[in-house]
Structure 1
Amino acid sequence: MSSEAVHLLDLYWRCSLSPKMYMKLSELERDLSEEPTSWAEIRLSINAPMVIANATELEKMAAIKFERFDDKGHLDVIFSNGIMQMPCLKIDLRQKTLLVNLIAFENSILPSMRIFSSYMKLMDALIDSKKDVKLLKKCGVIDNTLGNNEMVAAFFNDIGKFCFVDSNTNHFPGLYKDVQEYYDSS
């Protein structure tokens, strides 16, 4: 991956990548010839989005637990033995603006490099209502300073519509598969 940031959002985006994701993106960037070159090709290459149940259902039906882990500023999600570990995401007016701008920035780069879009799409899948926000807040995964869980749920449901990721471009495809297998085995 080229080392120079071309924009302030690019710099923030790069600093938010875990070392593992940074290495993965460096490998993808080396072989740009396999990426679609036109919007028509991109549209044709998009597969159906990956789907999982919301957080409340995952906890109730499959006893999946959510935990906060020390993220050191990096986005990553780990699922193992019925526990989904995620970084804490603070939701306030400033963070909402930053996340919307990061999603817009990612829509201008290669689909295979959309880390925030993948994470926000996952959060959109996990959050359908204020009950899901309440659960994730209780587990330390969300720090809601907006005061209203309904507003946070609406934010994730709205922003998820602008996160153009699918099974080819999602950075957590193994997570969706593992969660679904765990859910089905319960």
Structure 2
Amino acid sequence: MNSYISQDNRSDMWLASGNVSKGLEAIKGIVSLRSSFSNFEGATFQNGIESAYASDSWSITPKITSRIAQWWNVSYELTFAQNWLRMKDIDRVSSYKNISQQLSSYFTPSKKWYLQLTGEHYYNEITQDVSKHFLLADAEFTYSFTGGWEFNLLVRNIFNQSVYSYTSYDGLTSMSREYQIRPRNVVASVFFRF
């Protein structure tokens, strides 16, 4: 037999975010910066005893896109995020950092062919003593023949990574999660355009 006893709880949350961007002729591109901060405070009651906690999350993301040459475009984005979990009654604070980067390069030296290379890097603190670096890369090549035929070659997960892990927060707890990643994938296609 199971029973449920209702307990009081309280919570407050606020969120602030912003974004600025500027076009720069010197790099023939755009520089942008976005950031966000959130605060969550709450308390649970068990047997009349209050357990107060607070969770903060902050992130900042600069991004730059540039047309380096008539045939070459580049995009780079970096995100730094930090999370804090504070247990007020026992004076305990835990903090974890996450960093992600993405670099994309687009080559179009002629009207006949196109190449896109994308690399991603992730740094995650799984616990305060354990961290992990993770790399992903994709490539796509397209060649257009005369007469409307087009050949496309797409390679996903070039490094054949298999697992992605990260830490998430939910009120009083932090959880480590692990995802299986689809193995390297190669797709060759032929199209006819008319």
Instruction: Tell me the TM-score normalised to structure 1 length.
Output: 0.22
- Max radius of gyration: which structure? 2
Larger helix proportion of the pair: 1
